[in-house]
Structures are given as structure tokens and as C-alpha cells.
Amino acid sequence: MDLQQVKNDLEQRLPKARYEHVLRVTDTAKKLAEEVGVSVEKAEIAGLFHDYAKFMDKDELLELLKRDEEYELYAQYHAELWHAPVGAMLAKERYGVEDHDILQAIRFHTTGRAEMSELEKVIYIADLIEPGRKFPGIEELRQRIDGEPLEDQMTECIQHTFKFLVQRYAVIFPHSFDCYNEHVRRRKEQ
Ligand SMILES: [Fe+2]
Ligand SMILES: [Fe+2]
């Protein structure tokens, strides 16, 4: 795959700030992948594509989503979530990305899920902590997870996301609950 071509495409599709976020996520994902022994090449592709569909029109997203096996579920939740499965769909259809793990990493980068692969966790974490992120508590989160096993990093990140969502009375997507519960159970067993 010609990654420069993907970058050019992204630059056209996304506002400048979002494009730069994508580059920082990709960079962060590659470093984390290297640290934890995940394929850096796969992390790069998943990182580049993770927000591919982020700025598509809501109606267009919904139309594409109709072909998704979880359409009924996604359609009941916030449109903010739709770019993730559609991004995976377009990476496959427009760029021939066939690798299931890469596609899943794109698909679940916003919600997480139970039984995430290592690559999925790398992309989820990189999206949350890339150096451009400025939310309250981000520095503490970065320090807390730095150098920790990937699974523990993911536990901290999903807990952080839950705190954030609950504080805002946000509706929580079922896969995110599954992810959170899995990590809390694992921690209790330790
Ligand atoms: Fe996203
Ligand atoms: Fe993102």
C-alpha cells in the first residue's frame, strides 16, 4: 500500500487539525507497538485509517452503515461513533485492507470492546493519549500508563473514558461496557 497516497487522501478529507491528530496517533501507535511487541507496520496502517470517515456527512455515514452487520445497534447510538465502523469499511473497499486485526482496530478505536487484540488496544490508547490531547487529567494518565503492560494501560484508559462519559451523562455504547467490565473483573482477580 502506498502510505503517501493514503496521507494525501486524508489531507483532502479532513480539516487540518484532524489530519494532524491522525499523524500524531499514528506516530504514538507506532512507538507503543514497538514497545509492546506489536507489528509497527499494522499499527501505522490502522493509525492512518482510524479517523478516515470522521468528517463525512451524517447521512452518508448512516447510508454506508446500513451494510454493516451491527447497523441496528450503531443506529441507536450517537452519530459520533459511526465513523469507526465506516472507516474500517472504506479502508477495505477503497484501499484493499484485508487484515482482520487492522480492520478491527479501526472499527473499535472509539468504543473498545471485550477481548480486544493487542493492536486494537494500541490504537485505542494512542488515540486517547497522543501528544495533542489536552483534556483534564491527561498528564496523570500518561504518567500512570507509561511503560506499564499493555493490558494495564488499556484498563486505565477505559476507566478514564468511563469517568469522562458518566460525568457528562453520556449514553454508553454496549461494547464499551463489555470492555470496561472485562477490565474491572480482571483487576479484581489480580
Ligand atoms: Fe475517531
Ligand atoms: Fe482519533
Count of alpha carbons within 13 angstroms of residue 79, beta-carbon side: 12
The pLDDT-based confidence of 190 (bands split at 50, 70, 90) is: confident
Percent of the chain with pLDDT over 70: 100
Q: How far apart are CA 66 and CA 100, in angstroms?
A: 20
Which tens digits make up the pLDDT trace of 110-125?
A: 999 999 999 999 999 9
Q: Which domains does the chain have, with CATH numbers?
A: 3-189 (1.10.3210.10)
Q: How far is the CA of 185 from the centre of ligand 1 (A)?
A: 27
Q: How far apart are CA 152 and CA 96, in angstroms?
A: 33
Q: How far is the CA of 117 from the centre of ligand 1 (A)?
A: 18
Give the ligand whose atoms come closest to the C-alpha of residue 28. 2
Q: How far is the CA of 18 from the centre of ligand 1 (A)?
A: 10
Q: How far is the CA of 188 from the centre of ligand 2 (A)?
A: 30
Give the ligand whose atoms come closest to the C-alpha of residue 54. 1
Task: Kindly state the DSSP code that residue 79 receives in the 8-state scheme.
Answer: G
Helix (H, G, I), strand (E, B) or coil at 169: coil
Name the burial class of residue 31, with classes exposed (0-12), middle (13-18) and buried (19+) by CB atoms within 10 angstroms of its CB. Answer: middle
Q: How far is CA 28 from CA 2, 43, 128, 181, in A?
A: 20, 9, 10, 26
State the average pLDDT for the chain.
97
At 23 the pLDDT is 98
Task: Kindly state the DSSP code that residue 20 receives in the 8-state scheme.
Answer: H
Q: What is the mean pLDDT of residues 85-107?
A: 98
Q: How far is the CA of 189 from the centre of ligand 1 (A)?
A: 31
Q: How far apart are CA 78 and CA 171, in angstroms?
A: 8
Give the ligand whose atoms come closest to the C-alpha of residue 133. 2
Q: How far is the CA of 89 from the centre of ligand 2 (A)?
A: 16
Q: How far apart are CA 33 and CA 148, in angstroms?
A: 13
At 144 the pLDDT is 97
Which tens digits make up the pLDDT trace of 132-180?
A: 999 999 999 999 999 999 999 999 999 999 999 999 999 999 999 999 9
What residues pack around ion ligand 2 (CB closer than 5 A)?
51, 127
If one compares 188 and 24, the residue with the highest pLDDT of the two is 24
Q: How far is the CA of 190 from the centre of ligand 1 (A)?
A: 31
> Does the pLDDT value for residue 101 go beyond 90?
yes
Q: How far is the CA of 109 from the centre of ligand 2 (A)?
A: 8
Which tens digits make up the pLDDT trace of 34-69?
A: 999 999 999 999 999 999 999 999 999 999 999 999
